[in-house]
Chain A
């Protein structure tokens, strides 16, 4: 009966979409980091004198791994050092050391990164040696070997090179040519190459312009490596989290106009990875399997021996599994524009029923999609309208009504990074079935202008710029810190920064006076909101006291002898069962029976 708000076990529809998505590219994302280990990488630069470029890179990768373990622990990463004396590459390339093989993050790889974070040039030399000669072609070659040697199926592949010198093969045209050829090889294998440097004078022109991925590609990052690198962690996260298409779907306007768009996830609740079962003797994963057995014959039932049913108004109604799936097929697959409405009238905060999605055109299925999409976007923005559509996300999913909310591209003028991409958000609209009546008090006292002003003064004091990036989920972080502590046999898990706990001290300090003024303006003298509520609570329990046995358990025997058990709630009855160790399950009548049996 009780409704749960924001219950933790909310059904997540989008999860299903991600695994069932039509046209989804199977496979894992993979990234190789190739880090130049030349002298300059271990020197402190003027402004940021705390860490060397090498330390900063390792730290960023370390932080990214920790994030990856939470958000997408299937992605593969590898780390190559180049310009080392030691080498261990598969093809005997000198000056290349494969420090971490292409794999999913593990306790070991994270520990290694942590230990490497503060390393200095001398220690590094002892471990790996230093050699200024290096062949970029071999770095590329080795990366390709690593990518092709893995047994996993790969979806997106990237190589991110951190270097210092922007012209490593100055005067050696052969070496240049070889590097170019190898880089082309990587491109042929759909490997995206990015090159960045902490060197302020770094230019792409001398050498790397022929190496990096096509600047005309759909990737908006191609200039300003230094700027991007300012916040290396978030930059890496962006680079290494490929936006997966949930599906590619047609978008129809009228019956005859059809373009093609990709659908993307905007936000989705990250939950702890589900616990797995293990064989306690070997700590190996134990897979759970289920089969269905005929209760009477003991035979294993085949899927065709099983049907599905629901009981309504006393009638048992039985269907084949297929029939139930077909019930969902109502609309035609894709987005169908029904018309347009003003944005403010069609998209209201309280309409929210589901996480939004994002669409962006793709040319592969319908050529010309981008131009029409662009025109639609420009005009929806100009007119401040949204497109109302019926949306059937997959051929067998039930249709929803959605609003396409236009989003203009926004660029950070300082870093020229894209803040928001151009496209439409798919905002899900509720059906009448989803909307409920909420009763308001008929006569609400209206606040006076002074009272509103007091509120304004107060809220002005506590303004901040909300950004979802600045709030980690404390429950998830705690969980992973715990795991980390167990895995690394730490005595105590690391403390987390919990930003969901209000900092009352600061609030009181900054706005205390205004809070007092507000309270004086709105609360009548002597009003104590907390006191009243508790009073209210206790009075309500008093009135219902007879119904809810609390700590001082009601005299059960008396209830039994007077046949009054029926007056207790099921919860109350169950409490009695627990206390007296009575096996009471099933319907209320059954539980009452069980209790009565116990006492007579």
Chain B
């Protein structure tokens, strides 16, 4: 579906009245320019095809078509940028070249000029929407003699032109504005949806004293109030549009863009059994936005993408990395350990076939069975009745309301189009003041769900909060309330929060485009504050935060970055002498070491366990103890961190050898050394073994000789095991990727 295209005339007041402000407040001019450049920036980075024009008023010069024919009117209104696609030039002009004006001008003149541009330039164009965006604080004189004519001009010739005013807070009572407010509290309406009527909406944009302009901190002048009255009159006279204050810049931006991002319609029949089919259409309502472009690789010197050729080749994982010709490449799947050759033909023939798009209800379930934590995929869709079909509308609405009353939702199977895999979706009743529809969201299959189980918090006595702790937490939560209260609007409303990452990227792109060689500076304030704690909330909750902090005992542990518990264990284990670290881990060690009676050769200090055990042992028990230490040594050698255990292995081996004679275990130990020889040779231990003179007892071989003559045998074994090793290494690489 083609994206909606708009024509917009930005009509910016740069006159003298825009340039005053109370100390500490930005001037209206500065605020207006900031919002305008943000709008244009986002237009560029959304690859918008919209056409825009910039009309300035209050400037020195006069340049507009109407003034050409009438020398006395439309003075100091100038077309600075003719209707065309947005460009960096325009952005640059606004950011750098634009200077505050030196004159004053009638805002209604400027609006008339803008209307004229839209008429002349867009008459024959196919556009979804035409719009005038007026930036002014109404501090200049105007004449409203021809106001009725102007109001008529907004809808003359079948052209429907919207007016958007970005200025001081305006207190307007309007009737039948076309604003659809998605944020209306649904909860309160759910019970009696049919009684809701469209009451005149009071568009109040601020909750402050309306006679003070909160943007500039100055009281509004009579002039300004008169200006606002005219705008009110225009809206009441049938002009469509909205008002935003400078301080609601982000709201203005989002209010703007909503119209330009539309979803493609997916038409289908909602079916139940073989008999019921309701024509419906689905639109994505929420979908995680991505940057419009991906990053392309280019040559660092020439900055040309064509100067890089991507070369892909295949090779088998053997010693030579033998390359495989592309024509010899086949397709296969891993089935556990095995590779199953599987051609694309096989795939096509055997794959699960779906017949065509469908949305078929499988049954209905309690709404509590589909909590939001189960939702998968990255979007939520609205399922609406097919437009213009009253029967479809009645049946779908009746179904939605019936489910709502029964506290149910539908579980359905969704097939996007022929050949795509079926998905399970929930159809959840969605009822607002004006609309009744389903929200459609993906549900997981059994293969997708991860079972989570954690220790109960209630049973763990050590972690029970006291009544006092609960009390301070209770108070903290109250003090950090963000919801819509009588004295302030809801904070962090998703509908009006811009993604700081996008803003940041746009800024970086813009700066780099302006100055390709300058280093990027860090995040600007307006990006980093988007998701920062709100100052008022923090101030309000400061005392409670302190209470919480003093009521709970929180100790940060010395924690080496990225080291996991087991590694920490091993470290402590190795340098067991070093028990100075005050961490809980070493504490655990001390407790273990100081166990008075040794029952077996452990991992922590096998050599001293061994000696302790031997001191009391007799007969066959001695052999068992020797076996135990040998087993330990074997374990150490088999440990994935064997190299770290080198010391421990050597100490254990030495202890073993030293005690062998005395306990008549010489042959046993010698046999053991021969046994582990092959394994040792595969590890980087040889040098230290030789150095420590570890060798079979009374066999006339030196340590050096003993740990080397098996090279060939080792080689052979290595060949056999290489495959496995490489698999292991691969695995490790995969994890590091």
Contacts and interface: CB of A to CB of B under 8 A. Distances in A.
A296 to B, nearest CB: 6
Most buried by B among A74, A241, A338: A338
B316 A285 contact: yes
B202 to A, nearest CB: 21
Nearest to B425: A6
Given A23-B564, A350-B382, 13 more contacts: A243-B452, A257-B545, A267-B450, A268-B376, A269-B376, A280-B341, A295-B306, A366-B554, A422-B458, A441-B385, A462-B363, A500-B413, A502-B360
B658 interface: no
Interface stretch (B62-70, B393-401, B684-692, B696-704): B393-401
Contacts of A421: 452-454
A467 B450 CA distance: 13
A140 to B, nearest CB: 12
5 contacts: A278-B332, A364-B557, A370-B457, A421-B452, A486-B340
Given A8-B420, A153-B731, A452-B401, A316 B303 contact: yes
A364 B445 contact: no
B193 to A, nearest CB: 8
Contacts of A418: 453-454, 456
Contact of B254 (A422, A432, A500, A519): A432
A566 interface: no
Nearest to A290: B312
Given A522-B391, A530-B277, A486 B422 contact: no
Contacts of A425: 372-373
Interface in A346-363: 347-356, 358, 360
Contacts of B491: 338-339
B330 interface: yes
A237 interface: yes
A122 interface: no
B480 to A, nearest CB: 4
A353 B380 CA distance: 7
A435 B413 contact: no
Contacts of B399: 455, 459
Given A289-B312, A340-B477, A421-B454, A312 B449 contact: no
B373 to A, nearest CB: 4
B335 A483 contact: yes
Given A327-B508, A370-B457, A463-B363, A436 B296 contact: no
B349 to A, nearest CB: 9
B338 A107 contact: yes
A136 interface: no
Q: Across chains A and B, which 5 residue pairs bring their CB atoms closest together, nearest first?
A: A455-B402, A398-B501, A106-B337, A375-B465, A507-B273
B668 interface: no
A312 B537 contact: no
A360 B187 CA distance: 30
Interface string B341-360: 11000100011100000001
B430 A500 contact: no
A455 B552 contact: no
B693 interface: no
A307 B298 contact: yes
A599 interface: no
Contacts of B422: 474-475, 500
A425 B39 CA distance: 35
Contacts of A68: 336
A265 interface: yes
Interface in B311-331: 311-317, 324, 328-331
A382 B294 CA distance: 46
Contact of B552 (A181, A326, A375): A375
A345 B449 contact: no
Contacts of A338: 480, 482, 491-492, 531, 533-534, 537
Contacts of A292: 297, 308-311
Nearest to A409: B456
A188 B376 contact: no
Nearest to A320: B300
Interface string A515-553: 110110111100101101100000000000000000000
Contacts of A48: none
Interface string B142-173: 00000000000000000000000000000000
Contacts of B513: 312, 315, 317
Contacts of A287: 314-317
Contact of A367 (B259, B274, B350, B554): B554
Interface stretch (B17-25, B119-127, B219-227, B635-643): B635-643
Interface in A316-350: 316-319, 323-324, 326-328, 330-331, 336-342, 344-345, 347-350
B377 A367 contact: no
Nearest to B569: A190
Interface in A88-119: 103-110
A340 B284 CA distance: 28
Interface string B505-522: 100110011001000100
A368 interface: yes
A371 interface: yes
Interface stretch (B75-83, B97-105, B264-272, B647-655): B264-272
Nearest to B273: A507
Interface in A177-194: 177, 181, 184-185, 188-190
Nearest to B726: A151
B443 A468 contact: yes
Nearest to A144: B635
Given A218-B454, A276-B339, A530-B269, A446 B397 contact: yes
Given A435-B495, A523-B395, A453 B297 contact: no
Q: Is the interface of B mostly helix, strand, loop or mixed?
A: mixed
Contact of B274 (A148, A306, A501, A504): A504
B139 to A, nearest CB: 31
Contacts of B189: none
B580 to A, nearest CB: 19
A313 B514 CA distance: 13
Interface string B469-483: 110011011001111
A158 to B, nearest CB: 14
B180 interface: yes
Contacts of A518: 276, 395, 398
A311 B448 CA distance: 38
Contact of A473 (B261, B364, B447): B447
Nearest to A154: B640
Given A349-B439, A365-B556, A515-B275, A435 B285 contact: yes
B271 to A, nearest CB: 8
Most A C-beta atoms less than 10 A away, residue of B293, B333, B390, B413: B333
A61 interface: no
A343 to B, nearest CB: 10
**A177, A294, A507: residue with the most chain B Cβ atoms closer than 10 Å:** A507
A286 B325 CA distance: 10
Given A258-B556, A529-B391, A2 B264 contact: yes
B453 A2 contact: no
A500 B412 CA distance: 8
Given A368-B555, A500-B362, A374 B465 contact: yes
Contacts of B276: 515, 518-519
A44 interface: no
B497 A431 contact: yes
Interface stretch (A29-37, A399-407, A582-590): A399-407
Contacts of A107: 335-338
A219 B452 CA distance: 11
Interface stretch (B53-61, B230-238, B596-604, B709-717): B596-604
Interface string A380-404: 1011010010100000001101000
A252 to B, nearest CB: 9
Contacts of B294: 310
Contacts of A241: 450-451
Interface string B430-464: 10001111010111111111111111111010111
